[in-house]
Amino acid sequence: MLAVAASLTPLPGLASAAPGVGGVIGWGSIDFGVNPVPPSVASGISAISAGSLDVLALKNGGVIVWGDNNFGQTEVPAAATSGVSQISAGWAHALALKNGKALAWGNDWYGQSEVPAAATSGVIAVATSALHNLALKQGGSVLSWGARTDVPAAASAGVTAIAAGGDHSLALKNGGVLAWGNNTYGQASVPAAATSGVTAISAGYQHSLALKNGSVLAWGRNNHEQATVPPEAASGVIGIEAGWYHNLAFKADGRYVVWGSDASQESDPFTCGPVFGVSAGDRSTFILKPDPTAPC
């Protein structure tokens, strides 16, 4: 298994960078134009989400999309050019959250870009990864549309976080992970360790991640050792991201850890920390740094 932690190096200009705002660095696959990243995401970016064919970034409340455009997914609708608070990239479609309303555009094979009425108000989080979407509403109820529409009764209230995988879904409730959908590789079979004390979740294509007491938990498909957590991700972790076949974690000290598939060198660290955000796509990796131009 390839697992590497990129070290923290003090960066000039870090103190002057706005908290949670910086630039994108990407590496790995160049398919569909996801890499190299466009100049427009070199600064002012507060969030990043990598799909399989394209990448979303959030800048001053407006969505930027680059990569494949066979389904019009890089053509950002006017409603998503301001006031957006969250983004999520799927398989050739995009989600955004604005004033409690889910926005969707791009590929619509399974109706995933047709926002249901229930997701047009009161939404506090959105998630996608492949061909289905999740929305979390005030009060903790989960909605699902697209290739999957099923939601278990346990996810009808009290949920605080959601994650959509390739064909399975995760929710966080009272510190425990709920999982449903395709379970071919055990990705929806929650291990005992993830039934309490969990603070974050992320769903890959056929595997799942959870964060507990600064340590990453992983289960599901392990053909690229994506469900084998390296020692570097066993402590001090504050954020996690599951890609299709590889994962990212970032730590309180600014370092990041990447492991799993390395078919396009997506698990080879391209730069040093500190980072404040990460996103893993299909054989591509993206991180957010306060100043992406600063030398290591």
Q: What residue has token string 């398919």?
A: 31
- The answer to whether residue 53 scores a pLDDT higher than 60 is yes
**Residue 15 CB: number of other CB atoms within 10 A?**
8
Model pTM greater than 0.75? yes
The per-residue DSSP string of 202-268 comes to EE-SSEEEEEETTEEEEEE--TTSTTS--GGGSSSEEEEEE-SSEEEEEETTS-EEEEE--TTSTTS
Which amino acid is residue 94, in one-letter code?
A
- The answer to whether residue 2 scores a pLDDT higher than 80 is no
* Separation of alpha carbons 75 and 71, rounded Å: 9
The sheet with strand 198-203 has its strands ordered as 198-203, 207-212, 215-220
Q: Give the pLDDT confidence score for residue 14 in this predicted structure.
A: 24
Which residues are paired to 256 by β-bridges? Answer: 6, 250
Q: Is residue 294 part of a domain?
A: no
- Work out the average pLDDT over 70-95: 98
- Work out the average pLDDT over 25-45: 97
- Segments forming the whole domain that contains residue 205: 3-289
- How many folded domains does the chain comprise? 1
Tell me what the pLDDT averaged over the chain comes to.
93
* Separation of alpha carbons 265 and 146, rounded Å: 31
Q: What is the CATH number of the domain that holds 261?
A: 2.130.10.30
Q: Is residue 296 part of a domain?
A: no
Q: Give the pLDDT confidence score for residue 6 in this predicted structure.
A: 56
SS3 80: helix
pLDDT tens by residue, 162-213: 999 999 999 999 999 999 999 999 999 999 999 999 999 999 999 999 999 9
Q: Is residue 159 part of a domain?
A: yes
**Tokens linked to 24:** 């994108």
* Separation of alpha carbons 11 and 249, rounded Å: 20
164, 149 in Cβ contact below 8 A? no
Per this entry, what is the length of the chain? 296
What percent of the chain stands above pLDDT 90?
A: 91
* Separation of alpha carbons 92 and 89, rounded Å: 8
- DSSP assignment, residue 7? P
Q: Is residue 247 part of a domain?
A: yes
Which amino acid is residue 99, in one-letter code?
N
Lowest-pLDDT choice from 13-22, 65-74, 75-84, 206-215:
13-22
127, 162 in Cβ contact below 8 A? yes
168, 188 in Cβ contact below 8 A? yes
pLDDT tens by residue, 244-271: 999 999 999 999 999 999 999 999 988 9
Q: Is residue 84 part of a domain?
A: yes
Q: Give the pLDDT confidence score for residue 165 in this predicted structure.
A: 98
